[in-house]
A and B are shown apart, each in its own frame.
Chain A
Amino acid sequence: MNGRRPIVEVDGAVKRFGRLTAVDGVSLTVHTGEIVGLLGANGAGKTTLIKTILGIEALHGGRVNVFGTAPSRATRQRLGYVPQGLGLYVQLSVKQNIDFVAGAFGVRTPTSIPEDIATHAHHQVKDVGLGLQRRLAFFCALLHRPELLVLDEPTSGVDPLARARLWDTIHAQAEAGAGVLVSTHSMQEAEQCDVLVLMSSGRNVASGTQADVIAGTTAVEVRSPVWSMAFEALSAARLPVTLAGRAVRVAGVDRARIAAILSAASVTADLREVPATLEEKMVLVHRRTATG
């Protein structure tokens, strides 16, 4: 992309809670027009990092810049945030939620409201379906035309078609020049991002496109008429085993070692090397950082 500017610049960020270092020297950049996905196990430091970008938490070391300055009320005015819990006022009506957000950001209540939302304008938010609540939360977050969107698990629990539609909205924002930072546990959401940042134990352990992040990691697919025996033998050996229909997958382990374990357990199987999935890569990264 030509002429894109950095909107979020995190450089060597450190945040401690007592003896725990929640964020430990993390760096990342979100440019205009770019969708950056933040992935990691619970406790990896994703939420803390997002809070520092929103200006809710201050750092102990390193630097966070949003729109070229330290996070503040002024930078908050220029970004839109959809938390995992959607952040709506469920006792208020749909219309009152829109008015409130418009008021808080100092913009006019829009005259054109999407039909599905307008139909329920006078219903209390707690009485409308989760799908509509989610569309309302997005609509509210975009009211003030933010230059940066921060989303926490934006489509958790949504059916595939509705998820595709919400991602159309997110991509449209990026195409109009906004930067987008998405924290997610979903591999389908990760696939929608231009750049992924993998965090583990407070550190940034991999970043780049999905292909960059997975590159060089392989898995072995084990097909056996007795899949359950294959699964049990490999699982008992404490290998990172996953189920794939009636096949078994083992990531990041030498094929010969798998063959040896299976033969010791008298399990006959076909072994085939395949590219690892993003999920397998995350498990391997986590195991490595957890064991030091």
Chain B
Amino acid sequence: MTSSSPDGPWGLSACCVRFGTTHGTVAALEEISLAVPRGQVTAVVGGDGAGKTTLLRTLAGRIVPAAGEVRVPPPRRIGFLPSASGVWNDLTVDENVEFVGRAYALGRSRLAARRLALLGRAELLGAAGRLASRLSGGMRRKLGFCLALLHEPDLVILDEPTTGVDPVSRVELWRMIAETASSGSAVVLSTTYLDEAERAASVLVLDDGHTLYSGEPQSIAAAVPGTIVHTPVRPPGGAGESAWRRGREFRAWYADATAGEVLDEPDLEDAVIALTLARSSEGDAGRRDRAGEAAR
């Protein structure tokens, strides 16, 4: 069910999304809940096929869930940047702005003011006459972001705004994202960069359509069962399967408390790997025969 509420709170409750394939039905989202408050950035993380895009498209009203509730502002109060660019390559920067402005029926003076403010902040005014196809990847993504914000939406949904964007442009994009949140909008974005997700006020970690973790990124350590240890060499035998490398040393996850040097403050990267390992060790038998696995 989708309900439109102009003032919030916005988000998803126990949403399930299923897709039909030639092999039957696949669960893309399994009972996912997410609050998207105003004035902060909420991040959705996970690898390819985890369900990030499905979740954001559900919030944007592009997908209707099989079960659960979606609470969002009316469509005209939502700004959506899809994962594939969100700009028209055959139009110039200014023509892109003009086109989207007309689609939202913005008045001439308001459009002019928004253009100046947004393109100025994105440092795109100097490229206003350039074809979008002639912009660098980072500039094109910034233009897509400006277009999603043109009509001053209350809820801003950004699907991987920084994927493939170089680190310098990424920092500029984050400056714009943070400014949008600080001005009172609700911002939700997806990313595969965990260091980036650590900047968000809250984070939802998805794996295979399931919630691995939901909450403040700084509190994720408490949600990891068992222990994470750090060691200069890869643990021998079967324990090596649950080990991973961070810089010059290894981390290993054990279901039980164990001998070894316990890692004091696992970051989001370590915690997510440990949670993924924990989930697969718990559900191995149960999930092996589930149909959804192969069809990711």
Chain A residues in contact with chain B, CB under 8 A? 39-44, 129-131, 153, 156-164, 167-168, 171, 185-188, 191-192, 210, 227-229, 231-232, 235, 240-246, 277, 279-280, 282-283, 286
Q: Please provide the chain B residues from 154 to 181 with a CB less than 8 Å away from any CB of chain A in the complex.
A: 163-171, 174-175, 177-179, 181
Contact B195 A279, beta carbon cutoff 8 Å: yes
B108 in contact (CB, < 8 A): no
In the bound complex, do residue A210 and residue B198 qualify as a contact, i.e. CB atoms below 8 Å apart?
A: no
In Å, the complex CA distance between A56 and B63 comes to: 45
Q: How large, as a class, is the contact surface on chain B? A: 35 or more
In the complex where A129-B48, A192-B245 touch, is A243 in contact with B178 (Cβ < 8 A)?
Answer: yes
Contacts of A43 in B (CB 8 A): 136
Q: Which residues of A contact B247 (CB under 8 A)?
A: 191-192, 210
Chain A's nearest CB lies how many Å from the CB of B131?
Answer: 17
Q: Which of B73-81, B91-99, B224-232, B268-276 contacts A (4 or more CB under 8 A)?
A: B268-276
When distances are taken between beta carbons in the complex, the residues of chain B under 8 Å from A280 are 171
Residues of B within 8 A of A286 (CB): 168
Name which residue of chain B comes closest to A244, CB basis: B199
**With A and B bound together, what is the CA distance between A280 and B199 in angstroms?**
14
Contact (A245, B216) CB under 8 Å given A156-B164, A159-B48, A231-B178: yes
Cross-chain contact B49 with A39 (CB below 8 angstroms)? no
Q: Is B32 an interface residue (CB 8 A)?
A: no
Q: Given contacts A129-B296, A159-B276, A160-B272, list 10 more A-B pairs with CB under 8 A.
A: A157-B47, A157-B192, A159-B47, A160-B273, A160-B276, A187-B195, A188-B193, A228-B39, A241-B175, A242-B175
A161 close to B168 (CB less than 8 A): no
Partner of B273, one of A164, A192, A228, A232: A164
Interface residues of B (CB under 8 A from A): 39-41, 46-50, 136-138, 163-171, 174-175, 177-179, 181-183, 192-195, 198-201, 207, 216-218, 244-247, 269, 272-273, 276-277, 296
For the complex formed, measure the closest distance between the CB of A54 and the CB atoms of chain B, giving whole angstroms.
Answer: 21
**CB-nearest residue of chain A relative to B208?**
A159
- Cβ contacts under 8 Å, A243 to chain B: 41, 174, 177-178, 199
Q: Does the CB pair B277–A158 fall under 8 Å?
A: no
Alpha-carbon distance A279/B179, docked complex (angstroms): 19
Measured between beta carbons, the chain B residues less than 8 angstroms from A187 are: 167, 193, 195
Q: Flag if B164 contacts A185 (CB, 8 Å).
A: yes
Note all chain A residues with C-beta closer than 8 A to B49.
129-131
Chain A nearest CB: distance from B108 CB in Å? 28
Query: Which residues of chain A are near B168, meaning CB under 8 Å?
Result: 41, 282-283, 286
In the bound complex, do residue B47 and residue A158 qualify as a contact, i.e. CB atoms below 8 Å apart? yes
Q: Can you pick out 22 interface pairs between chain A and chain B where the beta carbons lie within 8 Å of each other?
A: A40-B166, A41-B138, A41-B168, A42-B136, A42-B138, A42-B169, A44-B166, A129-B49, A159-B48, A159-B272, A187-B193, A188-B193, A228-B39, A228-B183, A242-B174, A242-B199, A243-B177, A243-B178, A245-B200, A245-B201, A245-B218, A279-B170
